[in-house]
Amino acid sequence: MKNRLKVLRAERDWSQSDLADALDVSRQTINALETGKYDPSLPLAFKIARLFALPIEAIFEDTP
């Protein structure tokens, strides 16, 4: 699954640690999400969507 986390983070000039703190997860989680190595659980995806004030589909894109 592709996502725009890195772009959204860069737009706000946040580091991975900043985003990790805001979402209450580890920096490794953010790193793995951004590099596409890990897909978040639904609760974490909603949390990310709330943080960026965007719908989930605007952040995550299903790739067949």
Instruction: Enumerate binding residues for another protein (CB under 8 A).
Output: 6-7, 9-10, 15-17, 20-21, 24-29, 31-32, 34-35, 37-38, 40-41, 44
Beta-strand runs (E) in 15-62: 60-61
- 60 phi and psi, to 5 degrees? -110, 140
* Least distance CB 9 / another protein (angstroms): 8
Give CA angle at 53 (45, 20), nearest 5°: 50
Q: Quick one: 32 or 49, whose CB is closer to another protein?
A: 32
* Least distance CB 44 / another protein (angstroms): 6
